[in-house]
A and B are shown apart, each in its own frame.
Chain A
Amino acid sequence: MPVLTEEQTMLRDMAREWADKESPVTALRRMRDAAPAEFYDAAAWRAQAEMGWAGILIPEAQGGAGMGYLSLGLVLEQLGRNLAATPLAATAAATSALILGGSEAQQAEWLPRIAAGDVVAALAADEGPRFAPEKIATTVEAGRLSGTKAFVAEGDSAQLFVVAAIDGLYLVSGDEGVTRSPRKLTDSRSHAQLRFDGAPAERLAGGTDLLTEVTDRAAAALCAEMLGMAEAAFAQTNDYLKTRVQFGQVLASFQALQHRMAKMFTELELMRSVVEGALEAIDSGRGDVRQEVSLAKAVAGETLHLVSREMIQLHGGIGMTDEHDAGFYLKRARVIEAMWGNAAWHRERFARLNGY
């Protein structure tokens, strides 16, 4: 943990307490079974907005807390621990585009409503199943945007989209020229294909660099969620090994398992460092954000992958049942690993940035 301000410590503790009390994994299970049209927990989102989380990135003048990405990460980490189905990360990604590229008028129109939790926003960039920002084909003519976006997180219900086109980012709001089709993935969360047919669009300032800055921020925020997921999956597995008895011994007493757990713990410590490192790099406006984000997403992706697999294996048969939480971690893990660039994509970018 970097040295937190008092405000950040309070934020983290509050988020931890809220997530444990109000949003355990059973809440995701309930949402999955109820399958609301928005595919998130609307009541919980309302509560999160009331606590100010929707406005963590938004300047105070526009109704937010003006706290930055490390603070956002502290909250997402706690929510990730319990797999909270919240549009917070997607909304924050779109918010970062407004803050970096929005005009005064655009910011004044949207940021206060986002901070209040009245608007869920989403970032629509990819047009295929794999992260490929260089393959964007969406076009804008005379203020009308056309193209198809695949697997947009919170695409089922977002009222505001930040959409990547060939020449930069655009705001699209309202339903004119927008067709949404749900794409149900393993994580039970909202992902939708969006078809834009001449949807009215407003340009954000900045070219394709803005897309990189925004997807880097989106990736860093997800890394924090991944950190919470990996730590919770690990802790649950550790607890289970201490209670399950076979051959007259608790499983935790077997050295073969102890060393696997020690190895995972080691990777988790490294993961925490790189995730916090990326969030801090963004907050301090450093020049190496791309590198730090790629480091974080690659390490986070591999570590969560490892921990989510081991969670099932070390739980044995019980981990295979829908009744147990292990499957929920596994099914969210693969989705979040792929979003905004999987480990291989980020390793490749890291390699190029470092002359390999």
Chain B
Amino acid sequence: MTLLRVRNLRTRFATDRGDVRAVNGVSFDLAEGEILGLVGESGSGKSVTAMSIMRLVPEPPGHVAADSLAFDGRELLQLSEAQMREERGSSMAMVFQDPMRSLNPVLTIGRQILEVLRRHQKLDGPAAKRRAIELLETVGIPSAEKRLGAYPHQFSGGMRQRVMIAIALSCNPRLLIADEATTALDVTIQAQIIDLVKRLTRERGTSVIWISHDLGVVAGLCDRVNVMYAGNVVESGPIRELFHRPSHGYTLGLMGSTPRVDGVGVRRLTPIEGVPPNLIEPIKLCPFLPRCRVSVPACQATPPERRDLGGGHWAACLADLAPRSVAR
């Protein structure tokens, strides 16, 4: 069952120097219960894609268009803002990068959880409080009852992110978007949070879009990955398939610049030279071409088409990278 269908999603921002095409034709499907990774460097359009799905892009200056943006069969772009508000927090929820700043500093943790329960589940009084305690216990916060009256600054970063997850999952959403949810945390806490998300979403059959620039995190958590570059998905595939056979110059570059601990070859990390393209200028050829180390002469002439590599794996790349997998 497809929960979310995105077809040709285009998000632009008006600036004085021209329209920035932050997301430029993103298409993908998200199945129910699937965990999808979105990876790419800063500015590749991962967050804007997520914000566009939640319809949280401020308009103006932003503008979101798509051939289809269907969540559970409903076209999100046709919903009114009031209808969207009903969905946000109840059927789709989001966890942000910085747990230090995504909780309101002057409201108690309890109040912030209760607010959502009251808003979407019409729960109030002792029933709501019981549910809030239950939620905090689920995400592993000790003496949850006492913690309800605590303020965010009394919590550590990991605890706050747990609270954010508790709030996000409070109304049993069908889609959870985590935007760099563990980036601000140290690695041990990061691992705990990932385990937590994995366990809770598997239990409930929640679909997850996990945004990260950390390939390691994505490899450990996701079923499928979309690699994004310059506002577009350049390669997509099941996790094993994509990691074994990266088939886009950019994916290859990302992997070459990521340290590995599994001992496949001792090698130096190779950075990707250059900078991402200016998204105001229209891009005709492969957006990664100026930085690509594996380009072929054809790249200078024609824009790359999606090339199906079997098993749900495809890449928009003209170079045949099969013989030079990452395990060089």
Task: Report if A and B associate in a common complex.
Answer: no
B residues apposed to A, CB below 8 Å: none
A positions within 8 Å CB-CB of B: none
